[in-house]
């Protein structure tokens, strides 16, 4: 029997099961209580519960037959105006089933829709508002045109806290009979960066190797590096030890760690580095420059070595 993907296995089925978004779920529960629903716009980073909230809301509104009055479309796959004119419009014009007052169309990654598709969607939302409700999910609400935003109740999802992720990871570990150390859970929380999907994927990947999970396993299976390693690398630079820092950088890159991963951790932990505010500003500027050049196709190793060379010179 093939192992089930844990992301789907442990997806929240009810609004009460969604963690870290209490302000959002409390408002959604009021819609369920009154059995009334406006058009909704869910905005926030990946893996924080937007899709789970949409499906859980639908389940609680329609019960066991929720599939009959619900359709989910990924706008990044079907982002043109034809999708709005065919799939969305066809479903919207059908009457609700099972005595429901309305149907729900869930558009995931709706910020990928073209402007023409969004303009067509605006009209569709108006035309079928008596029998259909739209839930739009996006990472950046600024990419949704104003006429659509004004028609929706906006819910902003925040990145999950370390404590929320740790609690969920520990619960899944107990369900799966996995032994995981406190340091391992801390590593998953760090790697996840507020994204529950990433946390569960890391846990399942590590569990596929061993039922006893330690800290280093998490960094190995996710091809990431810990914050303490990045801080250690920069401290070597500040001490003027360019060769030592270069060796540590090579070790991380040889393990498959992406340079962007190192830059991201460094940018988030820059205030933990014992240097002056001016040096932190200069370092942040260099991090941004290296990240931009790498994104434009420059040699990653060369850019990273240039960064540690600069810090080594300034450190001296």
CB 170 within 8 A of CB 180: yes
Same domain, 195 and 274: no
| Residue 1 pLDDT class (50, 70, 90 cuts) | very low
How does DSSP assign 181-203, residue by residue?
Answer: -HHHHHHHHHHHTT-HHHHHHHH
Distance CA 175, CA 171 (A): 6
Distance CA 157, CA 211 (A): 33
269 occurs within a structural domain: yes
Q: By residue range, what is the domain housing residue 199?
A: 162-221
Quote the number of domains for the chain.
3
70-74 sheet: strands from edge to edge: 70-74, 103-108, 132-138, 39-43, 152-156
Same domain, 13 and 152: yes
Of the two residues 80 and 89, the one the predictor is more confident about is 89
Tokens 């969604």 identify what position?
18
Same domain, 145 and 280: no
The candidate with the shortest Cα–Cα distance to 172, out of 7, 3, 1, is 7
Least confident of 76-85, 152-161, 163-172, 261-270: 76-85
38 occurs within a structural domain: yes
User: Does the pLDDT at position 22 exceed 60?
Assistant: yes
pLDDT value of position 80: 58
The candidate with the shortest Cα–Cα distance to 47, out of 200, 219, 237, is 200
Distance CA 159, CA 47 (A): 8
> Any residues with CB less than 8 A from the CB of 120 and at least 6 apart, and which?
81, 84, 85
| Residue 83 pLDDT class (50, 70, 90 cuts) | low
Same domain, 130 and 171: no
Residues in a beta bridge with 205:
none
Mean pLDDT of 229-251: 89
128 occurs within a structural domain: yes
114 occurs within a structural domain: yes
Same domain, 105 and 217: no
Distance CA 301, CA 293 (A): 12
Percent over 90 (pLDDT), the chain: 44
Mean pLDDT of 150-177: 93
Residue 278 half-sphere exposure toward CB, CA atoms < 13 A:
2
pTM: 0.83
CATH number at residue 96: 3.40.50.300
Average pLDDT of every residue of the chain: 88
pLDDT digit string, tens, across residues 120-154: 888 888 888 888 999 999 998 889 999 999 999 99
Same domain, 64 and 149: yes
Same domain, 120 and 169: no
Long-range contacts of 121-128 (CB under 8 A, 24+ apart): 121/84, 121/88, 121/148, 122/147, 122/148, 122/151, 124/84, 124/88, 124/89, 124/92, 125/39, 125/151, 126/151, 127/92, 128/89, 128/92, 128/93
CATH number at residue 198: 1.10.8.60
CB 217 within 8 A of CB 206: yes
pLDDT value of position 79: 58
Same domain, 302 and 197: no
Same domain, 188 and 72: no
Mean pLDDT of 162-186: 92
pLDDT value of position 82: 63
Same domain, 79 and 186: no
Tokens 């250690």 identify what position?
232
pLDDT digit string, tens, across residues 276-313: 888 889 899 999 999 999 999 999 889 999 999 998 88
1 occurs within a structural domain: no
Q: Which of 107, 127, 156 is the last residue of a domain?
A: 156
CA gyration radius for the chain? 23
């Amino acid at each position: 029997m093939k192992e089930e993907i844990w992301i789907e296995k442990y997806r929240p089925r009810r609004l009460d099961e969604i963690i870290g978004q209490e302000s959002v779920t409390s408002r959604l529960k009021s819609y369920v209580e009154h059995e009334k629903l406006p058009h909704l716009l869910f905005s926030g980073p990946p893996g924080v519960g937007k899709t789970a909230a949409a499906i859980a809301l639908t389940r609680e509104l329609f019960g066991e037959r929720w599939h009959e009055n619900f359709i989910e479309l990924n706008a990044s796959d079907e982002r043109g105006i034809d999708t709005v004119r065919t799939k969305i419009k066809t479903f919207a014009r059908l009457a609700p089933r099972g005595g429901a007052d309305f149907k729900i169309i869930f558009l995931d990654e709706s910020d990928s829709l073209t402007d023409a598709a969004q303009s067509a969607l605006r009209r569709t939302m108006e035309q079928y508002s008596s029998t259909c409700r739209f839930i739009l999910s996006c990472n950046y609400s600024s990419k949704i045109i104003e006429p659509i935003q004004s028609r929706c109740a906006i819910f902003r999802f925040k990145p999950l806290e370390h404590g929320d992720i740790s609690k969920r990871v520990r619960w899944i570990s107990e369900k799966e009979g996995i032994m995981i150390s406190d340091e391992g859970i801390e590593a998953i929380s760090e790697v996840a960066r507020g994204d529950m999907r990433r946390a569960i994927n890391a846990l399942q990947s590590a569990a596929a190797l061993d039922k006893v999970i330690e800290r280093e396993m998490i960094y190995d299976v996710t091809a990431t590096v810990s914050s303490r390693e990045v801080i250690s690398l920069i401290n070597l630079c500040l001490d003027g030890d360019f060769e030592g820092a270069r060796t540590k950088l090579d070790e991380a890159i040889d393990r498959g760690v992406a340079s962007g991963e190192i830059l991201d951790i460094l940018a988030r932990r820059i205030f933990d580095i014992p240097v002056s505010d001016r040096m932190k500003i200069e370092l942040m500027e260099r991090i941004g420059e290296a990240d931009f050049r790498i994104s434009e196709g420059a040699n990653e190793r060369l850019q990273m070595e240039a960064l540690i060379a600069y810090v080594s010179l300034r450190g001296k």
